[in-house]
Structure 1
């Protein structure tokens, strides 16, 4: 690998001067050619031969002009290893979902503006979102690579294969180069366990996979009845009923997580794990958190972050809904548990736009926190549409309203169609309206099927406006987490 030195001043005609990186024998940068973004490489034959492109005259220099292809993204990650995803460890981190594949430069600008210790995951998308946006894991990773390169990102970064449920989906994301794997065992969590009758609980208890988990009901009771976890302000204990309900609720999920973790281990790649039990209608109590983490540790599973289901509602695209004072008390317990039993980070899923609770999360976790955002970047793209193409935005909103009830089925949201303004006077202001945000947020798949081409054209034509909006929006998200 070549050694990096101080780059020369960028040429005045380069539209992305931040991208220019000079190593001791060649220079790479992003520019424009025939109205398209291109990679330019100037230097001796040895580094150039790995890229696919055409030799051209660029001012006084002969350079290789290359398309932003998957092959060239892979080569770029090899020669600029900071662009190659890697595990990020326990550092304060943030994930930036990007449904269009063009938001990463704005995310980089926000990170650069707040400074601090936040480590980024620019490539982050769930299998569900990939299906709805028509993208592959490789496209998600490559788009993030080009975006980070364009904006001049020189720090480390990760890549999150989000909400994985099957070995096959793990394989696809691992092959693309993802390093952060979020396991979602929600289909194996029994959310009714907290309210089941004693008779129903006993019936479910007998059906648990005891042999596969190498334990028994008797062992569980003995193990957790003796537990005393000092949280400073109180000592957490579990009684017989709490143990039983926690076992019914989470042991099948523990088995699923263990199986997927072992599958990942077998791939012999660098990776870190996030465990997500945030989906569902039953909050994760502190006692259940202790039970879940302890059982996973007993079975040899290791993870870097865990997303419990907090009290209240973490809905898409809007601020926290619930009693902030109660969340403050609960988050204190969850953060202390994560430090006592780990340490590992608490992960805030559906974390975008939760401005009222960011200071609480940072305070209690002391930086052991991962913020996960997704559709809020897409909404900022729609804000550009509202400003620059109001007729197109109005048409998109009407289609979104027609498909809202169908598309909302896989999301926990409380937005209502009848609260969306019928005759809005200020279209951009709709992107700050609770119900309109949620209607547009969950219908992205439908809208992209019908409007992808004009939407992407607008993002290209108004790139500066789009990235400026993202920068300002994400500074608000990141600033509370950027302290030392």
Structure 2
């Protein structure tokens, strides 16, 4: 299963907006912009309003049938982990592997050395096309990044393998999420996180890093818009370079 170039996460918290959300994407398509919907809802959100993953699955299917949508669509088990994933397995084809809680978790010396074996090739100046200033990569920085994020990616691998064993590797889209934390990841950190994801054989098709500022539901972005724009654009350039 391969995610299209443009997708839009449409979190319908109360299960009442599926038709309206899909109608908006139909209007976009009429204007020549093809976007596939991803209905996303987390375990926490289900608990708050006493809904279930099946409810989101049915709402998405009902909207698709009612509006005769013929393109792809996805139902996202949003922000799941090994403790919460089971109820979503039969009702989702997109899984957001939330490993924010595992940032900074312990790693073994062997895991560290396995990472450094590949990452050390980038010591010195790392120039990302499109980013004006090169990044200085030291051995000390690589160790710091590994101790911060390698344990989280290891956990993402465990979640991915569990889902793949249940659904088959071709039966879903995988996203790795580290966005529900206080500190934003830098472009350099993102570059090496992507390397870790590759080392752990996670076929992630999308990633959710943390940006500066706050993205509260239903209100405008809170933070420095120019800094967010810079971070966002640099992250895109890093992803383009890495993949």
Instruction: Tell me whether the two structures share a fold, i.e. TM-score over 0.5.
Output: yes
Aligned twin of 1:162 = 78
1:127 touches 1:169 (CA, 8 Å); kept in 2?
A: yes
| Partner-residue secondary structure (3-state), 2:171 | coil
Which string of whole-angstrom CA distances, capped at 9 and with x for unpartnered residues, describes residues 272-310 of structure 1?
A: 111111111111001110111111112211111111111
- C-alpha distance in structure 2 between counterparts of 1:295 and 1:229, whole Å: 19
The structural deviation recorded for 1:141 is 0.2
- C-alpha distance in structure 2 between counterparts of 1:309 and 1:327, whole Å: 10
Which string of whole-angstrom CA distances, capped at 9 and with x for unpartnered residues, describes residues 327-372 of structure 1?
A: 2222121001111222xxxxxxxxxxxxxxxxxxxxxxxxxxxxxx
Tell me how many residue pairs correspond in the alignment.
237
The structural deviation recorded for 1:94 is 0.5
The structural deviation recorded for 1:88 is 4.9
2:79 touches 2:97 (CA, 8 Å); kept in 1?
A: yes
- C-alpha distance in structure 1 between counterparts of 2:125 and 2:203, whole Å: 21
Which string of whole-angstrom CA distances, capped at 9 and with x for unpartnered residues, describes residues 166-185 of structure 1?
A: 1x533321222x11100000
- C-alpha distance in structure 2 between counterparts of 1:132 and 1:326, whole Å: 33
- C-alpha distance in structure 2 between counterparts of 1:218 and 1:101, whole Å: 46
| Partner-residue secondary structure (3-state), 2:218 | coil
2:87 paired with 1:172: yes
| Partner-residue secondary structure (3-state), 1:159 | strand
1:117 to 30, 34, 45: 34
2:66 paired with 1:150: yes
| Partner-residue secondary structure (3-state), 2:157 | helix
Structure 2 runs not aligned, ≥5 long: none
Structural mapping, 1:331-480, within 5 Å: 331-342=232-243
| Partner-residue secondary structure (3-state), 2:176 | strand
The structural deviation recorded for 1:323 is 1.7
Aligned twin of 1:139 = 55
Structure-2 change in CA distance of 1:217 and 1:272 (3 Å):
closer
Aligned twin of 1:194 = none
The structural deviation recorded for 1:119 is 0.9
* TM, length-normalised to structure 1: 0.46
- C-alpha distance in structure 2 between counterparts of 1:222 and 1:155, whole Å: 43
Structure-2 change in CA distance of 1:256 and 1:227 (3 Å):
farther
RMSD: 2.3
Which string of whole-angstrom CA distances, capped at 9 and with x for unpartnered residues, describes residues 401-434 of structure 1?
A: xxxxxxxxxxxxxxxxxxxxxxxxxxxxxxxxxx
- C-alpha distance in structure 1 between counterparts of 2:74 and 2:185, whole Å: 27
2:103 touches 2:152 (CA, 8 Å); kept in 1?
A: yes
- C-alpha distance in structure 2 between counterparts of 1:340 and 1:263, whole Å: 30
1:237 touches 1:287 (CA, 8 Å); kept in 2?
A: no
2:130 paired with 1:215: no
Structural mapping, 1:40-55, within 5 Å: none
1:90 touches 1:304 (CA, 8 Å); kept in 2?
A: no
| Partner-residue secondary structure (3-state), 1:255 | helix
1:232 to 117, 130, 133: 130
- C-alpha distance in structure 2 between counterparts of 1:114 and 1:333, whole Å: 27
Which string of whole-angstrom CA distances, capped at 9 and with x for unpartnered residues, describes residues 29-68 of structure 1?
A: xxxxxxxxxxxxxxxxxxxxxxxxxxxxxxxxxxxxxxxx
Which string of whole-angstrom CA distances, capped at 9 and with x for unpartnered residues, describes residues 115-161 of structure 1?
A: 21111123x21011111221221122012211232233232211111
Structure-2 change in CA distance of 1:100 and 1:154 (3 Å):
same
2:112 touches 2:143 (CA, 8 Å); kept in 1?
A: no
The structural deviation recorded for 1:224 is 4.0
2:120 touches 2:139 (CA, 8 Å); kept in 1?
A: no
Aligned twin of 1:323 = 224
Structural mapping, 1:242-321, within 5 Å: 242-267=141-166, 268=168, 270-321=171-222
* TM, length-normalised to structure 2: 0.87
| Partner-residue secondary structure (3-state), 1:181 | strand
